[in-house]
Structure 1
Amino acid sequence: MTKRVRAKKALGQHFLHDESVAERIAEILVSRRDLPILEVGPGMGVLTKYLLSIYRDTVVVELDGESVEYLRETFPELQGDRLIEGDFLTLPLDRIFPEEQPFLLIGNYPYNISSQIFFHMLEYRDLIPMAGGMLQREVARRLTSEPGTRDYGILTVLLRAWYDAEYLFTVPPGAFTPPPKVQSGVLRLTRNDRTTLGVSEQSFRRVVKAVFAQRRKMIRSSLRGLLPESIPPEIERYLTMRPEQLDVEDFIALTRAVDEKTICPNDEETLR
């Protein structure tokens, strides 16, 4: 008889046991039935079961050896390279499926690395037309927040440059074993039609991080030393604003002003 997996605090494990929540996540997030699925952190496979019913060739990646053993015994469909034992944050995602096939990224993400998961996802954004899943509600709200709100931050801007974000629904602590001390939230990220920022991505990230590092200060103070001596008139209006007041297009315009070399929109070079 297959034993239950012991949740490990160090891995941020809270196993979803509410079948209705798992089924709802699978049905809402798998909007495209023609693409394979990569599930992050399947744990004891409550969500996995419903993903497999939608797309039989679902691949899962799990770091916890005990969970891997449980999944092998419980889901014979997960044979060979369809069950990857390893750290998602170090995986080359362009090698998961043959010929760099696009895929959907779904998971009940460990709370302690959820932001890092999305940073890693952004490196492979052209392969991931949709991503979503469950994470701490506070983080889910932050990633789906709008300019002008207190939750709006660095990862919000970096994600929204490439994805449209939706907060779908809240999941109470009682849906998990052990129950977390916070509410959980389910979000969906859908790739937009942007192919380039028109500026250096490295500079864009630097500008976004610089201004949010001092989010109580005006842009002029946060970017002191990065701004050119002669400020373009169209940029002047940003300098007395605070970072949460700027949308993605504003940050792109601001980056163009501080970037020594502007990458043209048609330039084939993109910085990953």
Structure 2
Amino acid sequence: MTKPYTLKKSLGQHFLHDENMCRKIVQQLRYQPGAQVLEVGPGGGALSKYLIEESIDYKAVEIDKEKYEYLQHTYPALKGRIILQDILQADIPFAGRFHVIGNFPYNISSPIMFRMLDWQEQVDEIIGMFQKEVAQRIAAGPGSKMYGILSVLTQAYFSVEYLFDVPPGCFTPPPKVMSGVLHCANLNNPFAIKNFPKFKQMVKMAFGQRRKTLRNALKGFIPVQDVEKELMDKRAEQLTVAQFVALYKRFFEANG
């Protein structure tokens, strides 16, 4: 008999046990048969056992060696398909475009999304489960207190849709918060951003001190005196994604 796996709080592990919810999450994938799909953090295989039944080229990245061994022993179809590595350190797992799905560990869910943004040229879509508050932040629009760095950066490349809640009782152990599932569809760099690291740096600086106006937050990063007073007197949360992109392009792409 397979040795039961253990839950590791240090890795933020909360495993889905509600089979209807597992199937519902997997059904959110929008792909053509044969598509490449990456599962982030398969854990005990709650989603994996349904994903391997789909007509996809499946791989998974798992940091926990115990889960890695458990999955390959319990689901022979997963042998050779799981990469034992930290997703934040992993190389891009496929050549060409691929889809991403996962119950993202809460303690690194934001860094995982930053990783997906680094890979955005190849990531067709993301079906991600997050702590509800994080999911709401990613999907938030301007003028909201939840609107922030991850909202702007994600929405610069993806359309973001909050799909549904996942109650604590669906997990073992139950988390103390509600979870939420997002669908992010790649818009293929609609703003034609050429230098994502520089754009990211500017957005992070703008939100770094939320109560300050952009004039103070971006002073020293761009020549704020050359920007319309009306814009510089706003706070970061008041700007749309398009306005952030326009500001970035004005100083970092204006000369090519």
For residues 153 and 17 of structure 1, the distance between their equivalents in structure 2, rounded to whole angstroms, comes to: 32
For residues 163 and 9 of structure 2, the distance between their equivalents in structure 1, rounded to whole angstroms, comes to: 27
For residues 36 and 203 of structure 1, the distance between their equivalents in structure 2, rounded to whole angstroms, comes to: 30
For residues 152 and 263 of structure 1, the distance between their equivalents in structure 2, rounded to whole angstroms, comes to: 30
- Matched-pair contact (CA < 8 Å) for 2:121–2:188: no
Q: How many residues align?
A: 256
Q: Which moved more, 1:210-219 or 1:189-198?
A: 189-198
Q: State whether structure 2 residue 117 is matched by structure 1 residue 122.
A: yes
SS of corresponding position for 2:129: strand
For residues 257 and 75 of structure 1, the distance between their equivalents in structure 2, rounded to whole angstroms, comes to: 53
For residues 178 and 218 of structure 1, the distance between their equivalents in structure 2, rounded to whole angstroms, comes to: 43
Change (3 A) 1:230 1:44: closer
Q: Which moved more, 1:139-148 or 1:202-211?
A: 202-211
Match of 1:69 in 2: 69
Q: Which runs of 4+ in 1 moved over 2 A?
A: 29-34, 193-203, 225-230, 256-259, 261-264
Q: State whether structure 2 residue 88 is matched by structure 1 residue 89.
A: yes
Match of 1:27 in 2: 27
Shift of 1:257: 3.9
For residues 209 and 228 of structure 1, the distance between their equivalents in structure 2, rounded to whole angstroms, comes to: 17
SS of corresponding position for 2:211: coil
SS of corresponding position for 2:182: strand
Match of 1:236 in 2: 229
SS of corresponding position for 1:29: coil
Match of 1:204 in 2: 199
Unaligned runs of 5+ in 2: none
Match of 1:59 in 2: 59
For residues 124 and 203 of structure 1, the distance between their equivalents in structure 2, rounded to whole angstroms, comes to: 16
What code does the residue aligned with 1:45 have?
Answer: G
- Matched-pair contact (CA < 8 Å) for 1:37–1:57: yes
TM score, norm. by length of structure 1:
0.88
For residues 196 and 64 of structure 2, the distance between their equivalents in structure 1, rounded to whole angstroms, comes to: 34
Match of 1:249 in 2: 242
Match of 1:111 in 2: 106
Corresponding residue to 2:135 among 140, 149, 154: 140
* Superimposed CA distance per residue, residues 3-59 of structure 1 (whole angstroms, 9 cap, x where no aligned partner): 321110000000110000000000112444341211011111011111111135311
C-alpha RMSD of the superposition: 1.8
Change (3 A) 1:184 1:198: closer
* Superimposed CA distance per residue, residues 123-150 of structure 1 (whole angstroms, 9 cap, x where no aligned partner): 1111111012211111011001111111
More strand by share: 2
For residues 71 and 239 of structure 2, the distance between their equivalents in structure 1, rounded to whole angstroms, comes to: 45
For residues 199 and 48 of structure 1, the distance between their equivalents in structure 2, rounded to whole angstroms, comes to: 36
SS of corresponding position for 1:217: coil
Shift of 1:69: 1.4
Change (3 A) 1:70 1:14: same
- Matched-pair contact (CA < 8 Å) for 2:22–2:47: yes
For residues 200 and 26 of structure 1, the distance between their equivalents in structure 2, rounded to whole angstroms, comes to: 33
- Matched-pair contact (CA < 8 Å) for 1:200–1:262: no
Match of 2:3 in 1: 3
What code does the residue aligned with 1:223 have?
Answer: L
What code does the residue aligned with 1:16 have?
Answer: L
Unaligned runs of 5+ in 1: 265-272
Change (3 A) 1:229 1:22: closer
Match of 2:151 in 1: 156
What code does the residue aligned with 1:208 have?
Answer: V
Change (3 A) 1:228 1:179: same
TM score, norm. by length of structure 2:
0.93
